[in-house]
């Protein structure tokens, strides 16, 4: 079974990029009255503790969202709109102040959904699926939110197209299996055939692996073949690390050793809201500067040719 647990990585720079983009997309989609179908093919546990053991072990949130949350409130007024919108949603999960609770994508979706919207959450890891189910139960959201313990790549198919013909699919696998990269591209191709007007948000790690390197190119090809516009944003916080020498790798233990800090990641959005490019353009360099860990910190933003 999979060993990836998102609790180690919750609130890291990759979550900041993905969740900031997710909030921007959701806020735009919620601007129209018609019901939305919100699908999360790889949902995780839903809610995380930033003061818990997982976050403390990895230290990833400390170099991610906590850098934003711990900045003096007075500074924030000057920050890019998309960053402020994201932090405003996070603040709703910590009503007494502080930064203990970090919402994953399922809870961001639910927080920004309206009563008419429906949310389907897929999670295969037995522990995380149980935790997600328990977290969702606390919401008392009734039929609005459904947790499905099944393969998200396959499971989303039967909800496409949604009856309202409006919706968002977030595809955020752990990429533990090399085959995940190909499955992401296949999922997008299938989904665009069934539901061409849907919005698709795909997250991927930018790591020294051929599959990761070529994924954005594959996604552009899939979108172009379907005649759909896309937007592609990346955030790098540090130089890619060289693989550890065998002796050092053998000496290292635990989650940190298995997943040395991710240097960069990207989000690829098909049928992006027209507001998204303008929101990300100032936010990305700001994030590179604020979350950057060395001189290699950078961001990119590109979109399909008009
Ligand atoms: N989307 C979540 C968020 O932003 O808060 C994080 C998801 S995490 C990166 C990926 C999750 O996918 C893990 O919890 C893992 O157990 C789960 N997973 C892996 N393969 C899966 C599959 N084929 N179908 C559904 N879930 C899967």
pLDDT in tens, 18-32: 999 999 999 999 999
Query: Which residue's CA lies nearest to atom 14 of ligand 1?
Result: 44
53 a catalytic residue: no
Choose one of 18, 119, 121, 124 to mutate for the ligand 1 pocket test, by most ligand atoms within 8 angstroms of C-beta.
Answer: 124
82-104: per-residue pLDDT in tens? 999 999 999 999 998 888 999 99
In a domain, 278, yes or no: yes
Q: Under a CB-based contact definition with an 8 Å cutoff, are residues 190 and 157 in contact?
A: yes
Can you give the C-alpha Rg of the chain in angstroms? 18
Residue from 172, 180, 186, 294 carrying the catalytic annotation: 172
Find all residues with CB under 8 Å of 195, minimum gap 6, and list them.
Answer: 160, 161, 162, 165, 167
In a domain, 70, yes or no: no
Cβ atoms < 10 Å from Cβ of 32: 9
Angle between helices 105-112 and 126-139 (to 10 degrees): 20
In a domain, 16, yes or no: no
In a domain, 94, yes or no: no
In a domain, 92, yes or no: no
Q: Which tokens in the block code for residue 292?
A: 């950057």
Q: Under a CB-based contact definition with an 8 Å cutoff, are residues 210 and 270 in contact?
A: no
Domain range enclosing 169: 21-45+108-242+259-303
- When divided into structural domains, the chain yields a total of 1
- pLDDT at position 191 over 90: yes
Pocket of ligand 1 (CB under 6 A): 2, 4, 6, 18, 40, 42-44, 104-105, 122-125, 128, 151-153, 172-174
- pLDDT at position 109 over 60: yes
Sign of CA pseudo-dihedral 51, 57, 61, 67: positive
Confidence of residue 242 (pLDDT cuts 50, 70, 90): low
CATH code for position 174: 3.40.50.150
Query: Which residue's CA lies nearest to atom 13 of ligand 1?
Result: 44
In a domain, 95, yes or no: no
């Amino acid at each position: 079974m999979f060993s990836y647990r998102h609790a180690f990585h919750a609130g890291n720079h990759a979550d900041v990029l993905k969740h900031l983009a997710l909030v921007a997309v959701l806020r735009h989609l919620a601007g129209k009255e018609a019901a939305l179908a919100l699908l999360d093919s790889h949902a995780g546990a839903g809610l995380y503790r930033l003061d818990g053991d997982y976050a403390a072990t990895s230290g990833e949130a400390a170099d991610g969202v906590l850098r934003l949350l711990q900045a003096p409130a007075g500074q924030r007024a000057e920050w890019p709109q998309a960053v402020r919108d994201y932090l405003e949603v996070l603040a709703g999960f910590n009503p007494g102040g502080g930064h203990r609770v970090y919402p994953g994508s399922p809870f961001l979706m639910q927080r920004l959904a309206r009563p008419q919207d429906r949310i389907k959450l897929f999670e295969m890891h037995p522990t995380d699926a149980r935790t997600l189910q328990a977290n969702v139960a606390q919401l008392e959201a009734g039929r609005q939110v459904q947790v499905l313990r099944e393969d998200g790549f396959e499971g989303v198919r039967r909800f496409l197209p949604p009856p309202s013909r409006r919706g968002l699919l977030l595809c955020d696998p752990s990429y533990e299996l090399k085959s995940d990269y190909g499955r992401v591209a296949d999922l997008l191709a299938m989904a665009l055939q069934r539901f061409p007007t849907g919005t698709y948000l795909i997250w991927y790690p930018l790591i020294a692996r051929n599959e990761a390197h070529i994924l954005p190119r594959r996604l552009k090809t899939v979108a172009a073949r379907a005649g759909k516009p896309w937007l592609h944003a990346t955030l790098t916080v540090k130089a890619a690390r060289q693989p550890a020498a065998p002796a050092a790798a053998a000496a290292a233990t635990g989650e940190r050793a298995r997943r040395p800090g991710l240097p960069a990641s990207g989000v690829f959005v098909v049928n992006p809201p027209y507001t998204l490019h303008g929101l990300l353009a100032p936010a990305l360099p700001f994030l590179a500067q604020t979350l950057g860990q060395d001189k290699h910190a950078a961001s990119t933003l590109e979109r399909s040719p008009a």
